[in-house]
Amino acid sequence: MRHNVTVSIKQTAAASPALVGQLVVWIFAVLVSIAAAVFGPEGMRFTWLGIGLGASIILAFVWELGTHTKEGFVARVAILSSGAFVIFVIVAAISGFIVALAP
């Protein structure tokens, strides 16, 4: 017998603090990378992207320390850091193409 179960976003977030951590870190990475790409000075844009990536990795580490869960700590920090890295690579590539195509 199969039951239809509807789960709200709040219930999912309450059941999975790792999911909340992923969303927080990755949304932070998206916002910081876009801000660095848009507002960074011409010669320092990629430096600011690197600083933003470092801040995202520190946020991932601090967030996971705050969960007080020891099982899978290294794997969760690695996943969060890798996701932030991929986000920054995508934004840096798009920014590089835009800069290369600009007159």
CA distance 75 to 50: 22
What is the predicted pLDDT for the residue at 89? 95
State the greatest distance between any 2 C-alpha atoms of the chain, in Å, as a whole number. Answer: 64
Contact 66, 39 (CB under 8 A): no
Mean confidence (pLDDT) of the chain: 84
What is the predicted pLDDT for the residue at 8? 59
Copy the structure tokens of residue 10.
Answer: 């709040």
What is the predicted pLDDT for the residue at 82? 94
The model's confidence at residue 52, banded by pLDDT at 50, 70 and 90, is: very high
Contact 78, 21 (CB under 8 A): no
The model's confidence at residue 1, banded by pLDDT at 50, 70 and 90, is: low
CA distance 32 to 49: 8
